Amino acid sequence: MESRHGGWRSTGLLFVVLVAFASNSLLNRAALVGGQIDWASFTIIRLLSGALILGLFLGVRHGKAVLPRRGDCVGAMSLFAYAGAFSAAYISLDAGVGALILFPAGQISIQLIGLTRSIIPTRGQLAGAAIALIGLVVLIAPGATAPPLWSGLLMAFAGIAWGFYTWAGKGVADFPLATARYFVGAGLLALLLVPFAVTSTITWQGVLLAVISGAFTSALGYVLWYHVLARISIATAAVSQLSVPAIAGLGGVLLLGEVLTMRMITGGMIIFAGIGLAIWASAGRKAA
């Protein structure tokens, strides 16, 4: 069983990862809404930047080029599908609304995949998920207008792909190397989007936002994500992602000038309460 010190360390790393996830929504939306880059170019640069930083670092460490293997197909393809649909959806979705669609879809995907592998959540984990979902409803329902159907479906598809990507890395022996191979594979697949890129709209600000998203909040964030996944249950991993819309909402207030409402505060607090219950229940299961 993990020590109390190790438990707090895992919790701290989990928080850093969730902030990175929320930052991806903010970076992507900021680049597209300002007309600084198109969605295809953002996706290509994002994935290639992640592949470059991880490939170079781990290539030097292992003394050989980092190349995807046959067993990396699910991880690479799901990462490419997630990143492409994610950026395309943010053409018409606000940062907070996109996160509100993405992560519940990812959570449902993760839970369903877990059920196919005979992983049944405990009552405490189910209760935590239910509380977090209630918070999500409080956060999005009051006064919310329906998002564009096509963009909403794209973001839901991105969430499903994210669930498969999460499962692809669960339990891998060398998660930094696995993440690097996934990014290299996804970066190669991203070249399929070149015909859809609108190079005349690309600015250096848009390129910078895409590089930050790819190299830091994505590549390094996902390495930490797999690191945390090795230390928490898949149910806790799924529920914890429901906090990202709350974090993205706060980021929208601080960085994009959005209005902080009492309902946003209340919904966020309920979500974090559900996450806390799920983590507590998972710790009890491990102890048992």
- For tokens 């794209």, what's the residue? 154
Q: Report, as ranges of residue numbers, the positions in the chain whose pLDDT lies below 50.
A: 1-5
Which pLDDT tens digit goes with each residue over 172-219? 778 888 889 999 999 999 999 999 999 888 999 999 999 999 999 999
- What's the pLDDT score for residue 53? 93
* Cα 226 from Cα 126, distance rounded (Å): 23
> At which residue do the structure tokens 């928490």 appear?
232
In this predicted structure, what is the pLDDT of residue 33?
Answer: 82
| 8 Å CB contact between 121 and 237 | no
Give the model's pLDDT for residue 194: 96
- Residue 169's CB is within 10 A of a number of other CB atoms, namely 22
pLDDT of residue 1: 44
Q: How much is the pLDDT for 52?
A: 94
Alpha carbon distance 231, 62 (integer Å): 25
